[in-house]
Amino acid sequence: MSNQEQDENIRTYAINPFKIGIVLVGGVVTLLLLSAVVRFSSVPVFDALGLKRFLNVNAEGNLPTTFSGALLLTAAGLLFIATAVRPSQSTRFQRHWLGLGIIFTGLSIDELAGVHELFNSVGLLLEKLGWDAMFQGAFRWPWVVAGMVFVLAISIVYFRFLRALPIRTQVLFVGAAILFVSGAVAMEMVGAVLADRAEQAARRPFNLEVAIHIEEGLEMLGVVLFIYALLDYLKPITVSINRDRRSVLLSSGDQDGSVQRSPVSSI
């Protein structure tokens, strides 16, 4: 086969981190707006079609949950890829990259399966034991405490790893972490306080719905920023599809101009 025929069988696509980031942000904003529309309106057709649950960012097993889980799984995939295509920069902290990949895979499973909701059963057990007083107000949901401990542990373990990254990547990683933790922990605590007040008032106030949407929005935007940070760290990234060999090849250029390649999958 001639070189020209080989070139015709290979399609190469360049991945633009900024464009992907814009598309993902648009997806987050669209889901938040759709959720707000169905949650704050009283149109009977929304209930009849099941749209209130299907588009509700605070429900499980629906469109926003699937989108959020897919974001987390995408971040996990990029973390696994980072070591394979950038070995010259990741050997020293290879276990850290792998650890992050495993963590984000777990977060994706948790988001899709709602594993963290099991911690609410702990609250019921403590209530039966008479210890539920320690989980009131901002700490209404016990898993928030576990989340705070987890964030602190990750911050300590990954401090040196973060310092070894390029300054731009450090800033993006920290920004993504702040957004995600602000939603997953801080706004969750705010929502817990508002939920307590709502129970006392026997109604679901508007500010609780707003807090829920802010919480979910911050979480998703944090993951989007993290995905952008990973793509930016790995750039330039190209995906080559060889139709003759039925294979896909991912390439990432190092800062010194060399290129690292890793086979991604077979078609």
Residue 65 backbone dihedrals phi, psi, to 5 degrees: -65, -40
9 belongs to a structural domain: no
| One-character DSSP codes across 62-86 | SHHHHHHHHHHHHHHHHHHHHHHH-
Identify whether 1 is part of a domain: no
230 shares its domain with 243: no
Domain annotation covers residue 11: no
Q: What are the tens digits of pLDDT across the range 104-120?
A: 999 999 888 877 666 66
- In terms of Cβ atoms closer than 10 Å to its own Cβ (0-12, 13-18, 19+), residue 50 is exposed
The pTM (predicted TM-score) of the whole model is: 0.84
Say yes or no: 258 and 138 in one domain.
no
Structure tokens at 60: 């499980």
Per the structure, the complete domain to which residue 241 belongs is given by 236-267
When the pLDDT of each residue in the chain is averaged and rounded to a whole number, the result is: 82
Longest Cα separation, the chain:
78
Asked if omega into 205 is within 30° of 0 (cis), the reply is no
Do 251 and 229 lie in one domain? The reply is no
Condensed to tens digits (0 to 9), the pLDDT of residues 8-62 reads 667 788 889 999 999 999 999 999 999 999 988 888 888 888 899 999 998 888 9
Q: What is the pLDDT along the chain (267 residues), one digit of tens a residue?
A: 455 555 566 778 888 999 999 999 999 999 999 999 998 888 888 888 889 999 999 888 899 999 999 999 999 999 998 887 765 555 678 889 999 999 999 999 988 887 766 666 665 565 566 555 556 666 777 778 888 899 999 999 999 999 999 999 999 999 999 999 999 889 988 888 887 777 666 566 788 889 999 999 999 999 999 999 999 999 877 777 776 666 566 666 554 434 444 444 433
